[in-house]
Structure 1
Amino acid sequence: MKYSQELLDAIENHDFSETNILLKKALDNDEPEALASLAENLTDLGFSDLAKEVYRALIAKFPHEDIFKVYLAEILLNDGQEDDGLTLLYGVSKESDAYVESLLAQADYYQTNGLIEAAKQKLLEAQNNAPDQEAILFGLAELDYMSGNFEEALKNYRKLFETTKTFGEVVISQRIAACLAQIGDYEEASKIIKKNSTDLLTIDAQYEAGLIMLANGDNKEAIKFLDQVIETQPDYVNAYPLLARAYANENNNEEVLQAAQTGLSYNEFDETLYSLGARAAANLNDKEQAEKLLKKGLKVAPDNSDLRLQLSNLYLHENKDLENLKLFEDLEDDQIEPQAHWNMALSYQRLEKYDKAKSEFLLAYPSFQNNPDFLKQMLTFFREIADNNTTKALLEKYLQLVPEDSEMQALYDDLSMEK
């Protein structure tokens, strides 16, 4: 038995008593091929110090075999010995058979340290020397993908896809679809996903597929992928808002509410789920559940104006005017949206607090002066307080937008006849 194998067996059995002895015997007696394999296995097992000794021995015996220098350099760089590692890589000449491997190692080092442009230049140089090597093509595609150069990344991913479906743990079709989605071509991205759906084996890949399908308006396919994610990992919290939205697009309020409630059981801070769940509950005429969700959402996110307005709309619908007004009583003027002023105006009007209602309508008017529904409610209010001049002015503006409203036209004619 080769000493290299004895050493690996000892490590596998957690017997480290004779590690150094077996290593020395291997270096003194085993064939170069066995030692090269030993060094690779030691690296994979995490015994980098032992691997370095093997590579140094191989370099001493075969000084012109630069590939061993590259492998040793990679270990040195991973262990933080950057100067020594880079010196070895830079020492590999352009004429060496290991030059391309050296460039790849340098590119990996630069990428790891955030020097993306330097890494890309090394890969481009490597591509000039080995234009068909998949590792180079993949490296260039990944760099462009991470840098947001999605069109460039797409070209290389597509070229790579001609010869391989995966590279390492990366599914190439998934990357192609992601690039297409990033440049806004959701239709083509969804086609790629459907054509290669059997390749989407990881949860993240299925989630991303669901996201792309949802963006393309293919709600049923989005639901399919997102359900797969949740079935595999129920606490994958990012899937629930997308699933709820997909069901909302299908007008399936029962499933929206179910997705929202389940998602909130895993992440009570998801403000989107409170909103979607409450809207679904309201559509199901479960006003109590809608109110409960919105109140809880505001406790979690008291500054969420969308949830506050949603609850305000619910209170208006239920004629809970005091509760509606209380939602805004502690807010500064610059924190109150035009819609909130409109909502408060309606509540003050119903409570017959006409001065406050008038003030709120006037505050909302600049934002909604071209909204027929708002104008109709506002002119109705001013008609109620007998301010005919303002009512007439609002009617004129309203009829410009809705000239076919015969009832409002008749009211305008009546006011025009009054003196």
Structure 2
Amino acid sequence: MDKFMPFIQVMEEGNVEKLKSLVDTYLLEGDPDEQYELADVLTQYGFLQEALKVLEHLNYLFPEENQLKIDQAQLLLEMDREDDALNFLTSVEKSSDAYPQALLTLADYYQMIGLYEVAEQKISDALALMPTEPLLLYAKGELLFETGRYLEAARIIEDLLPHKDAIQAVDLTLKLAEIYSAGAAYEEAIPYYEEALQKEVAPDVLFHAAYATFQVHHYETAIKHLEDLLEIDPDYFSGYMLLAEANAMLENNEEALKAIVSGIARDEFEKEYFLFAGKISLKLGRVKEAETFLHQAIALDPEYMEAIFTLTSLYAMEERDDDLVELYETLKKEDFEWSSMYPFLAAAYERLEIFEKAYAFYKLAYTELKDDAQFLEKYVYFLLEEGKRDEALEVVVLLQKLEPENSTWFEMVE
């Protein structure tokens, strides 16, 4: 690499003109093998045009070298020059040792543009020539994984485990864990995650291992992984929610609240954190604290329906009718109207003895809740109290259909 230091220095400086001059001189004076190495260095640093120029020069010197065609094609694909790349790849003779690699490069291209059947056929053609080649088998496994054929992909990758030295760029153990997790086979994924963690304790691996163990209800193990994760990377935001949820599943509600509050301290713009904190605070009986969290969630997203519904339900349960009405008016100013609030508002206004508004919200709710017997029962008695007997009769007829075994509604009609 020392011989390429002048090139590296110029590339790091971003001096493209000087780099072009150096490349031109090297093409006149350098050894072809070293020129080939230079193309690789230029590619690594992102100077694709210059790398292509070197390969074109070598291809001119050695037109029979099919590997050079493949290398040029791979660069051209990166440069979005697909037609030129395909011309190079299809020009590789079937009798050439490089033909399977050309097929694999074609497969990569077709996979990239979503033509998965064509990509699979190219890989199959290559495997017909080299049925035990690990790189080709791995490519097929990756394609099956990407197209959701997880069981087939897992079988291929498992068969490759004894040959993992041939695919050093990929951790096959971790790949298997990812494949099984993607297919929701979490029990099968866990041993591979554990094996991967023995080699390297990485944040992403810890999180996905925790998620897999959470899914199979091994909450204690999930908590251990997540605590290790957040100790390594306190800014791994997804870890806080999963840690809180795992503790909540074990009814460790104080620990769950502690975890989510730690998450809020790291990311105060994540509305789901505030909603979870509100719900867990309610479980702990800390109503005022829950209310604060829920208001913060709604402040971040005035149309956050789950938070609005949770706060609405809290106000309705405690019959805090003025607070419920105030919440609705505040949301209305934000041009947000949600029909799920109507039955709560109807009941609130009825308790406040503002019957005209109660009637208005009962009517609004009625259009969507004609199959909700509990709501209809409240509505029919409200209508009777208000002397609206014809409307009450209409509702009672619905109740007769919904609850034919309830004699109350038939007696009421009589």
Please say if residues 197 and 205 of structure 2, whose CA atoms lie closer than 8 Å, have aligned partners that are also in contact.
no
The residue matched to 1:111 in structure 2 has which SS?
helix
Q: Deviations over 1:350-384 (max 9, x none)?
A: 54667877998896886654x8xx999999999x9
Q: Deviations over 1:376-407 (max 9, x none)?
A: 9999999x99xxxx9xx9xxx9xx9xxxxxxx
Going from structure 1 to structure 2, the CA distance change for 1:306 and 1:48 (only over 3 Å counts) comes to closer
Aligned counterparts of 2:181 and 2:25: Cα–Cα separation in 1 = 57
Aligned counterparts of 1:165 and 1:186: Cα–Cα separation in 2 = 26
Q: After superposition, where does 1:190-209 map in structure 2 within 5 Å?
A: 190-199=190-199, 201-209=201-209
55-64 or 81-90, which moves further after superposition? Answer: 55-64
Q: Deviations over 1:171-216 (max 9, x none)?
A: 3333323333333333323343334432464433332222222222
Aligned counterpart, 2:28: 24
Q: After superposition, where does 1:194-273 map in structure 2 within 5 Å?
A: 194-199=194-199, 201-273=201-273
Aligned counterpart, 1:307: 307
Q: After superposition, where does 1:13-412 map in structure 2 within 5 Å?
A: 13-14=9-10, 18-27=22-31, 33-164=33-164, 167=167, 170-199=170-199, 201-328=201-328, 336=338, 340=341, 343-344=344-345, 347-348=348-349, 350-351=351-352, 369=373
Please say if residues 177 and 190 of structure 1, whose CA atoms lie closer than 8 Å, have aligned partners that are also in contact.
yes
Going from structure 1 to structure 2, the CA distance change for 1:14 and 1:179 (only over 3 Å counts) comes to closer
Q: In the alignment, is residue 8 of structure 1 matched against residue 12 of structure 2?
A: no
Q: Which amino acid aligns with 2:218?
A: D
Q: Which amino acid aligns with 1:12?
A: I
Please say if residues 328 and 336 of structure 1, whose CA atoms lie closer than 8 Å, have aligned partners that are also in contact.
no
Q: Which amino acid aligns with 1:111?
A: Q
CA drift of 1:74 comes to 1.9
Q: Deviations over 1:211-260 (max 9, x none)?
A: 22222222222223333433333333333322222221122222322332
Q: Which amino acid aligns with 1:20?
A: D
CA drift of 1:95 comes to 0.7
CA drift of 1:295 comes to 0.9
Aligned counterparts of 1:165 and 1:251: Cα–Cα separation in 2 = 45
CA drift of 1:311 comes to 1.2
> How many positions carry a matched residue from both structures?
387
Q: Deviations over 1:134-160 (max 9, x none)?
A: 222222222222222323322222223
Q: Which amino acid aligns with 2:122?
A: K
Identity %: 28
The residue matched to 1:302 in structure 2 has which SS?
coil
The residue matched to 1:285 in structure 2 has which SS?
coil
Aligned counterpart, 2:15: none
User: RMSD over aligned Cα, in angstroms?
Assistant: 4.3
TM-score, normalised on structure 1? 0.74
Q: Which amino acid aligns with 1:24?
A: L
Aligned counterparts of 1:166 and 1:217: Cα–Cα separation in 2 = 36
Q: Which amino acid aligns with 1:116?
A: Y
Gapped runs of 5+ residues in structure 2? 12-18, 387-391
Gapped runs of 5+ residues in structure 1? 401-411
Q: Which amino acid aligns with 1:89?
A: L
The residue matched to 2:164 in structure 1 has which SS?
coil
Please say if residues 281 and 289 of structure 2, whose CA atoms lie closer than 8 Å, have aligned partners that are also in contact.
yes
Q: Which amino acid aligns with 2:131?
A: P
Aligned counterparts of 1:170 and 1:250: Cα–Cα separation in 2 = 36
Going from structure 1 to structure 2, the CA distance change for 1:379 and 1:22 (only over 3 Å counts) comes to closer
The residue matched to 2:146 in structure 1 has which SS?
helix
CA drift of 1:278 comes to 0.7
Q: Which amino acid aligns with 2:295?
A: K
Aligned counterparts of 1:344 and 1:282: Cα–Cα separation in 2 = 22
Q: Which amino acid aligns with 1:222?
A: A
Q: Which amino acid aligns with 2:271?
A: E
The residue matched to 2:94 in structure 1 has which SS?
coil
CA drift of 1:291 comes to 0.9
Q: Deviations over 1:47-87 (max 9, x none)?
A: 44454444344434443332222223222332344333322
Q: Which amino acid aligns with 2:180?
A: L
Aligned counterpart, 1:408: none
Going from structure 1 to structure 2, the CA distance change for 1:22 and 1:354 (only over 3 Å counts) comes to closer
Going from structure 1 to structure 2, the CA distance change for 1:57 and 1:353 (only over 3 Å counts) comes to closer
Aligned counterpart, 2:14: none
Please say if residues 248 and 256 of structure 2, whose CA atoms lie closer than 8 Å, have aligned partners that are also in contact.
yes
Q: Which amino acid aligns with 2:240?
A: Y
